[in-house]
A and B are shown apart, each in its own frame.
Chain A
Amino acid sequence: MNNCIVAFCCEHSAYPAADLAGKLKLHYPENLRIIRVPCAGRVDLIHILKAFEKGAAAVMVMGCEGGACHHMTGNTRTKERVKYCNLLLREIEADGRLVAMFNLSPNAPHKFVGAVNEITKRIKESGR
């Protein structure tokens, strides 16, 4: 798992977007590890921290667009959790930007690839 990017993808939005990116043969970094979750709201702080403990370079949480969550508020709750996780990482002098929340719709494969490229850029900037 060393230096990979862990992406927790909501099965209603980011996961189909990733699927579509594959079908369209869009290129994104090969060190991406996708974990399908029933809702971005399922992702807890400890899941993110454990990913870093196992050696992940960055963690992405990808959920539905604002107001489109299948479970009503899963994406907004997780956005707050991710913000708190930024703080937890900064507390231990790690780069808080290496955990980020992205909102996208299932038909947005380019946005999915853009998000992965964005986090890859942050990893490079953090010197990892």
Chain B
Amino acid sequence: MIIAERKPMDEIKRMLAPYKKVLVAGCGTCVTVCWAGGEKEVAILASQLRLARSAEHNEISIFEASVERQCEREMVAEIKDKVTEVEAVISLACGAGVQTMSEMFEDKPVFPGVNTTFIGMPEKEGLWVEMCGACGDCFLDRTGGICPIVRCAKGLLNGPCGGTRKGGKCEIDPDKDCAWVLIYRRLEKQGRLDLMRNYYAPKNYRAVKRPGRIQAAKA
């Protein structure tokens, strides 16, 4: 899923400074799971903004709304009535959600309330780690399902490097496992260690053209 973290309060306050009627819009998918922009975080941010503005004697009217997925026009349309009532929107969805919202309500400024950071998974409660760099040319079949592009600090396709520490830790961050040690152990378990002998040519990063666009095959 897409991982995001809330922007610093000062930045949010600065974006909303000129407005008196604001909608805090959440998204019920990825950002809900990573505690950045779900219904609960919408309520917390709205409350913080009300308290901050009230302390400055600069009252603000805040509306709250969340949709299942802010990156889908049909779902964003559900909160159209609320958007028309306000001067600006602060979206707690990922960048795709903010842009969908902004495209649908072109006459309203839509601000990002979170920084979209990476595609990852929860490692333990409250900790998410990056798992995929969305490079467009998946390499996982050769690495036992462990992505060296994002999980190796150097993004090496032919690892490990010479700096692996004792215990299989990364030389850049001793708290982090060396991705290539993990790959070796995984391939060993699968009896596919011969893959470690392969040399992989530099990756073709042109596989993803920006902006990305995928058309599903028509049935």
Contact = CB atoms under 8 A, between A and B. Distances in A.
Interface string A20-54: 00000000000000000000000011100110110
Looking at A49, A52, A94, which has the most chain B CB atoms within 10 Å of its CB? A49
A125 interface: no
B48 A88 contact: yes
Contacts of B52: 92-93
Interface in B2-29: 8-9
Interface in A44-78: 44-46, 49-50, 52-53
Interface centre among B9, B40, B43, B44 (most CB of A within 10 A): B44
A71 to B, nearest CB: 18
A46 B9 CA distance: 17
Contacts of A49: 43-44, 47-48, 51
Q: How large is the interface on B (under 10, 10 to 19, 20 to 34, 35 or more residues)?
A: 10 to 19
A53 B47 contact: yes
B201 interface: no
Contact of B51 (A44, A45, A46, A92): A92
Interface string B22-47: 00000000000000000010011001
Contacts of B44: 45-46, 49, 88
A84 to B, nearest CB: 10
B69 interface: no
A94 B55 contact: yes
A93 B47 contact: no
B9 A91 contact: yes
Given A44-B40, A91-B8, A93-B55, 8 more contacts: A46-B40, A49-B43, A49-B48, A52-B47, A53-B47, A53-B51, A91-B48, A92-B48
Interface of A: 44-46, 49-50, 52-53, 88, 91-94
30 contacts: A44-B40, A45-B40, A46-B40, A46-B43, A46-B44, A46-B47, A49-B43, A49-B44, A49-B48, A49-B51, A50-B47, A52-B47, A52-B51, A53-B47, A53-B50, A53-B51, A53-B54, A88-B44, A88-B48, A91-B8, A91-B9, A91-B48, A92-B9, A92-B48, A92-B51, A92-B55, A93-B52, A93-B55, A94-B51, A94-B55
Instruction: Sort A-B residue pairs by CB-CB distance and give the 5 closest, nearest first.
Output: A49-B47, A92-B52, A91-B9, A46-B43, A92-B48
